[in-house]
Amino acid sequence: MFTEDRFTQLARVHMDMIFRVAFSHLRSREDADDVTQNVLLALYRTDKTFQSEAHLKAWLIRVTVNECRKLLRSPWRRRSGGSIEDYAGTLTFQEPGDRELFAAIMALENKYRTVIVLYYYEGYSIAETAKLLDLPAATVGTRLARAREKLKHYLTEA
pLDDT at 117: 87
Specify the pTM.
0.66
Question: pLDDT tens digit string along 100-126?
Answer: 888 888 888 989 998 998 898 888 899
Which residue ranges make up each domain of the chain?
A: 1-82, 92-158
Q: By the 8 A CB rule, do 132 and 58 touch?
A: yes
H/E/C letters for each residue in 106-140? HHCCHHHHHHHHHHHHCCCCHHHHHHHHCCCHHHH
CATH architecture of 1-82: Orthogonal Bundle (1.10)
CATH code: domain 92-158 is: 1.10.10.10
